[in-house]
Amino acid sequence: MAQQSPKPTLVFTLLVLLCACTVAPANRPVETASPSVTPAGVPAGIGQAERWIEVDLTQQMVRLHDGDQVIAEYLAATGVGDSPETTTYPGLFRVQSKTKGPIESAPGVYVSDVLEFDVEHGNGFHSMPMDEAGHVLDDRLGQPITAGCVRVGESAALFDFATLGMKVWIH
């Protein structure tokens, strides 16, 4: 049974709204950083036997890791990076909450499989934005278009993989 936390905070819910609804030109640059990485390509702070999540901002990919093995890889959409309100920040985070949803993030716009990881900026993973019947409203992936959250088409698989406290490396 998946661990669940209490309902998301109002601030996080509002930021999910921005993440689900933001539309930006596809040709905007992605801001990246190079945190300390071990010779094997794993960031310092992640153990060899740990399960963890990687977000590659340059490739717009989410990778699920079991130790040094990539067990799944999904195309994603991340923040446009133009301002503090629209950036997917690089760094090492932890999954702070899990909310299966769907939750209404704006009138008539829903997301599910919400995993909050960057509490300071209100960023997390979530599904594609949907209408009340579950029809996808915006299916774009592979480009920075959100307000900082990480949109994943296979959000249910990511949600099932994640546990509270799991490390999330964004680079």
| Phi, psi for residue 145 in degrees, rounded to 5 | -140, -5
For the entire predicted model, the pTM comes to 0.78
Q: What is the mean pLDDT of residues 93-119?
A: 94
User: 112 near 153, Cβ under 8 Å?
Assistant: no
Query: For position 105, what pLDDT does the model report?
Result: 80
Query: For position 154, what pLDDT does the model report?
Result: 97
* Band (82; pLDDT cuts 50, 70, 90): confident
What is the C-alpha separation between 61 and 168, in angstroms, rounded?
Answer: 13
* Band (119; pLDDT cuts 50, 70, 90): very high
Peptide bond into 25 cis (omega under 30): no
User: SS3 breakdown of the chain: % helix, strand, coil, rounded to 5?
Assistant: 15, 35, 55
Comparing 40-49, 119-128, 144-153, 156-165, the range with the smallest average pLDDT is: 40-49
Sign of CA dihedral 11, 148, 116, 160: positive
For the segment 158-168, what is each residue's pLDDT rounded down to a tens digit? 999 999 999 99
Query: For position 150, what pLDDT does the model report?
Result: 98
Average pLDDT, the chain: 82
Position with higher pLDDT, 18 vs 102: 102
User: 165 near 116, Cβ under 8 Å?
Assistant: no
What are the structural domains of the chain? 10-25+48-170 (2.40.440.10)
For the segment 36-55, what is each residue's pLDDT rounded down to a tens digit? 455 457 888 899 899 999 99
User: 82 near 28, Cβ under 8 Å?
Assistant: yes
End-to-end CA distance of the chain: 30
Query: For position 24, what pLDDT does the model report?
Result: 35
What is the C-alpha separation between 163 and 160, in angstroms, rounded?
Answer: 8
